[in-house]
Structure 1
Amino acid sequence: MRRLGTVQQKISCVFRTEVQDMPSGKREAQPFHVAATESLNPSALEADIHSAIATEKLDGTCCYVSLYKGQHYLWARLDRKPNKQADKRFKKFQSSQKTSIGFTWNVEEDYKAVPDNWIPAQRVPHSDGSPVPDDHGHILGWVPVEKNNKQYCWHCSVVHYETGLALLLRPLGGDEDMLEITCVPLSELQEQTLELIGTNINGNPYGLGSKKHPVHFLVPHGIIRVKAPPVDYLQLHSWLLESDQGKVEGIVWHCNNGALFKLHRHHVNLKWPHGKPFLNTRPVVIHFDRHREQLDDSCPSIFGAFSKLHGQTFQSVEDILFEN
């Protein structure tokens, strides 16, 4: 499978959008709603969207793997956001103009401080040496997840820096109808972005683990393909509403030229979660044979728990529960 694009770059809606005079169903305090129209985004047509690969947009938090202090590290997404005064000015402008286009930022004065080891995402544009905020006033970036960081404890649970391993959920080889849980070296994920999903992420729409025994996984972006209909508003709306395979948070299309386009359920005024998520409809097998000898008592407990289940198959990821 060829490597697909990542969210290190801006992802535009696959359709043209319009601003509706109603509160956003996705972003708190946003006084307007951005909805998809039935017209394709011209940029999507230029990128040959009709031959693009459709993949599932998972509901989690974005991560990134790259070097830090000479070692492969997991990085958590940390957007640089406006301070209170600048945010107030921005929201007032948005409310009056129904758009963010034309608002001027002063990155040095208008933004909250970030940790010294924070870095902007690779494809964030720069002007006069400063990163340019996106349409929401955020600057996409990353901060390394250092060992035992309480703020990122769920990120820490899926990596073990001493052995350099990460806990992954992914399709089983070329079998799109079956998933596997495994651990792989972080070095194999170098410069990739992934989604962290699980018990304590975004309300856990996939029903993973429990409060007593939380379960989290990393899922490489673009790895779970979906059999979506052609890129047509009415067909996609019907598919997202009625099809079992359409019970996803959204779709991300990966074009041959590297461009990415998305469609979120909120873009077409559909709720999420909606029924049993498509991710939960496939069996999952646990494969820990490759690195079991590296796991010891210093590993996060979830690594050891899955290692003990090596070779077992479950009907769904939500069926994996740990009793002890």
Structure 2
Amino acid sequence: MRRLGSVQQKIPCVFVTEVKEEESKKRGCQQYQVVATETVHPVAMEANVECAIATEKLDGTCCYVTVYNGQPYLWARLDRKPNKQADKRFKKYQHVHRSCKGFTWNVEEDFKTVPETWIPAHRVKHHDGHPLPDEHGHIPGWVPVERENKQYCWHSSVVDYDVMAALVLRPSAEDGERLETAAVPLAELLEQTLELIGTNVNGNPYGLGSKKQPVHCLVSHGSIRITDPPPVNFQQLCSWFRESPEGRVEGIVWHCNDGTLIKVHRHHLGLRWPDGDSCLGDRPVVIHVDGPVDEHNSSTTDLFSSFSRLNGQCFSRLRDIQFDL
């Protein structure tokens, strides 16, 4: 099985998009929304999207595993954004010109400060040693998830630096329909991007855990395949999202043979998300968290300990995972 592309940049929509002057269904404070036309994007055509591998677009927050202080580490997504004055100038330009093309940034002065440990994402363009913003006015980047940083407490819950492992949700090697939760060595995840999903992330569309017993895990991008994807056609995609049991997902990400990533989100098609129970949350799951985790009773995180106590247990649905208090 070939390694699928990591998510370091914004992924283009499979269709050409346009801006509508109406309140966004995705972001309540946004007074416009980006919707898909029925025209397939030239980038998708050039990358031969019809022959790409279709995977589920996951609704969480993006993470990255790379080296920090000489060892594999989990990093959280942190985009460097414009300060208030620069953002106001940028939005005014967008409103007048109906586009952000041609806007000039002062990269040294227009952006908020970020931690010293921050690194720009792969393929961010630079000028005179400074990373440049993308078309949305953001500079994509990463910060290491350190234990003492409360801002990233849910990220911290899925990684144990004492045993150098992370809690990963992935398809079971034994049964294609079943998922498994496993403690995976961070070294095996190096240079991968993953999605953190769970109780306290993005409104928990997968129904994982509860406030008393939060459940979080990482899912490698591209690991949840869509077995019978619809053709890249506006009407057929709309029908698939509405009617297919497999279509109860936030969207599709296509991994093209040349490494290009292309996506479509339900909101691009004017469809709601979440809309009832998710396909992922309804899949059966087996817990495989054992080995070194059990040997570090005092140092393992609560989530690792809770999962290790369920080792070997099966649940008919992912969202049915419960820990005994």
2:156 maps to 156
2:194 maps to 194
1:213 maps to 213
- SS of corresponding position for 1:245: helix
Q: Distance in 1 between matches of 2:190 and 2:51?
A: 27
Structure 1: gaps of 5 or more residues: none
Contact 1:32 1:95 survives alignment (8 Å) = no
Q: CA deviation at 1:265?
A: 0.8
Contact 2:293 2:304 survives alignment (8 Å) = no
Q: Distance in 1 between matches of 2:9 and 2:280?
A: 25
- SS of corresponding position for 1:143: strand
Q: Distance in 2 between matches of 1:5 and 1:175?
A: 24
2:282 maps to 281
Q: Distance in 2 between matches of 1:106 and 1:176?
A: 51
Q: Residue by residue, what CA displacement relative to the aligned partner does 1:122-153 show, whole Å, maximum 9, x if unpaired?
A: 12122332222122111100000112321110
2:262 maps to 261
Contact 1:198 1:209 survives alignment (8 Å) = yes
Contact 1:197 1:216 survives alignment (8 Å) = yes
2:175 maps to 175
Contact 2:294 2:305 survives alignment (8 Å) = no
Contact 1:30 1:91 survives alignment (8 Å) = no
1:184 maps to 184
Q: Which amino acid aligns with 1:269?
A: G
TM-score, structure 1 as length reference: 0.96
Question: What is the identity percentage for the equivalent residue pairs of Structure 1 and Structure 2?
Answer: 63
Contact 1:248 1:278 survives alignment (8 Å) = yes
- SS of corresponding position for 1:151: helix
Q: Distance in 2 between matches of 1:44 and 1:52?
A: 10
After the TM superposition, which segments of 4 or more aligned residues of structure 1 sit over 3 Å from their partners?
Answer: 27-31, 289-295
Q: Which amino acid aligns with 1:315?
A: S
Q: CA deviation at 1:98?
A: 2.4
Q: Distance in 2 between matches of 1:140 and 1:25?
A: 24
1:317 maps to 318
Q: Distance in 2 between matches of 1:281 and 1:307?
A: 22
Q: Which amino acid aligns with 2:310?
A: L
Structure 2: gaps of 5 or more residues: none
Q: Distance in 2 between matches of 1:174 and 1:225?
A: 15
Q: Which amino acid aligns with 1:246?
A: G
Q: CA deviation at 1:25?
A: 2.5
Q: After superposing the two structures, state which structure 1 stretch, 121-130 or 136-145, moved more.
A: 121-130
Q: Residue by residue, what CA displacement relative to the aligned partner does 1:55-75 show, whole Å, maximum 9, x if unpaired?
A: 001110000001111111100
Q: Distance in 1 between matches of 2:305 and 2:299?
A: 10
1:139 maps to 139
1:68 maps to 68
After TM superposition, the structure 1 = structure 2 runs for residues 33-112 of structure 1, keeping only pairs within 5 Å, are 33-112=33-112
Q: Distance in 2 between matches of 1:228 and 1:274?
A: 19
Q: Distance in 2 between matches of 1:212 and 1:159?
A: 20
Query: Alignment RMSD, CA only?
Result: 1.4
